[in-house]
A = this chain, B = another copy of it.
Amino acid sequence: MNGLNNSVVIGGQALPELAEMLGQAAVSQVFVVVDTNTARHCYPLLEPYLPKHKLVEIPVGEQYKTLATCELVWNELTESSADRFAVVVNLGGGVVTDLGGFCAATYKRGIRFVQVPTTLLAQVDASVGGKTGVDFLGFKNQIGVFQEPAAVFIDPQFLATLDARQLKSGYAEVVKHWLIADAQAFATQRQEGVLVQDWAPIIRSSVATKQQIVEADPLESGLRKMLNFGHTVGHALESYLLLQSGREILHGEAVAAGMVCETWLSAQRGLLSASEQESIETFLFSVFEKVQFVTLETDAIAQFALQDKKNSGSTINCTLLDGIGRAVYDQPVTVAEIAESLRYYHRL
């Protein structure tokens, strides 16, 4: 539990503690936001721990992470005369926790919400940091607020509802947290790969890492950029392939490839030794399959790195590794260097 904020409960005690919280007299009504998937696969596991509540089901998928879906939720809260003492429980992956969190944070200028993330990605990433929001005009999380949930309840049993690809996608963020801030966890926890017997300690150290970074920089003015490791090249790859029909990849798959590229960039600049680079690369390829593209596409992919909202003008500020477990942010890289790193990745 070291370093963990009290309001994040991880492991078998998560759902009993959620039940205790919701049973308090200061809770007037409980609303549970689910998507079509979590309604079927996760809600039955949660239901025994819930007091009387209303279920609010939204359609599944990023394409429904919109204001129109928020209106469904706000409508349900309004029709049920939810007051300021109502609590919203968000049961699902990042779309449900981001959207449900935004709806609660803006209903009557903010009611309490708790996150019950059901994907590994949401458990180690989306549930921590207080980011809520929805997409708008095709831009991800364009409309939203920073608002911490009242609590986060993480039960690893939900991971059994995921397919292997989804699990791996979340695992990329776990690996990222090791690489930027936790050399010891990288040394000791990576042995099992994704065939993990007990996820709780892995999630716990991963969440602790993210919390420490977020708490030091809640509004993303500096330190938090460490979390972008793997994401400069990763986002570019993800965005490029999204536009190529039938070639979409998952976020974590793109980030895993991005981490290989940005590890290479770190080594090129002498920030990382050849043996450190090799150890990272070997491990990443032992878990993640290689993302497919051809050499001719590398320049086009690299161009997408320029469109990331965190950049201004033509320099791309990238987060690189300064050793395993240490990151340095705001490292300017050129589009040419990014293309070069993609060609390196392609040759491997």
Give the residue of B67, B83, B133 whose beta carbon is less than 8 angstroms from that of A109: B133
Q: Which of A105-141 contact B (CB under 8 A)?
A: 105-110, 131-133, 136-137, 139, 141
A78 CB-CB contact with B under 8 Å? yes
Residues of B close to A315: CB separation below 8 A: none
Binary CB contact string for chain A from 62 to 81 against chain B (1 if under 8 A, 0 otherwise): 00000100010011001100
Contact indicator A142/B74 (Cβ below 8 Å): yes
CA gap between A131 and B108 in the complex, in Å: 10
Q: Give A26-83 interface residues, CB cut-off 8 Å to B.
A: 67, 71, 74-75, 78-79, 83
Instruction: Please give the count of copies of this chain that the complex contains.
Output: 2
Interface membership of A293, Cβ < 8 A: no
B142:A108 contact, CB within 8 angstroms = yes
Tell me whether A145 and B78 are in contact (CB under 8 A). Answer: no
A193-237: contact bitstring with B at CB < 8 Å (1 yes, 0 no)? 000000000000000000000000000000000000000000000
Closest chain B residue to A132, Cβ basis:
B109
The reply to whether B136 and A109 contact each other, CB–CB distance below 8 Å, is: no
Please name all residues of chain B whose beta carbon is closer than 8 Å to the beta carbon of A132 when the two chains form the complex: 109
Q: Can you list, as one digit per residue, whether each of A271-313 has a CB less than 8 Å from chain B (1) or not (0)?
A: 0000000000000000000000000000000000000010010
Within 8 A of B (CB), among A121-176: 131-133, 136-137, 139, 141-146
In the assembled complex, the Cα of A109 lies from the Cα of B105 at a distance in Å of: 12
Residues of A in contact (CB 8 Å), total 27
A137/B106 contact (C-beta < 8 A), A67-B71, A71-B67, A83-B309 known: no
Minimum distance in angstroms from A152 CB to a CB of chain B: 18
CA distance A50 to B67 in the complex (A): 32
Contact partners of A107 in chain B: CB under 8 A? 142-143
| Bound CA span A74–B107, Å | 19
Determine how close the nearest CB of chain B comes to the CB of A147; give it in whole angstroms. Answer: 8
Min CB–CB distance A259 → chain B (angstroms): 25
Q: Known: A83-B309, A145-B145. Contact between A75 and B137, CB under 8 A?
A: yes
The distance in angstroms between the C-alpha atoms of A143 and B107, with both chains bound, is 5
Expressed in whole angstroms, the minimum distance between the Cβ of A25 and any Cβ of chain B is: 13
For A136, give the chain B residue with the smallest CB separation.
B74
Interface contact B309-A74, CB-CB below 8 Å: no
Flag if A109 contacts B78 (CB, 8 Å).
no
Q: How far is the CA of A110 from the CA of B110 in the complex (A)?
A: 15
- Give chain B nearest CB distance to A73 CB in angstroms: 11
Q: A78-B137, A83-B309, A312-B83 are known contacts. Are A131 and B109 too (CB-CB below 8 A)?
A: yes
A116 to B213 alpha-carbon distance, docked (Å): 37
Give every chain B residue within 8 A of A71 (Cβ-Cβ): 67
- Chosen A-B contacts, 6 in total, with CB atoms closer than 8 Å, are A74-B137, A78-B139, A106-B106, A106-B145, A107-B142, A109-B133
Q: Chain A interface (Cβ within 8 Å of chain B)? A: 67, 71, 74-75, 78-79, 83, 105-110, 131-133, 136-137, 139, 141-146, 309, 312
Besides A79-B137, A106-B133, A109-B141, 12 other A-B contacts (C-beta < 8 A): A74-B137, A78-B139, A78-B142, A106-B145, A108-B141, A108-B144, A109-B131, A109-B132, A109-B133, A109-B145, A110-B145, A110-B146
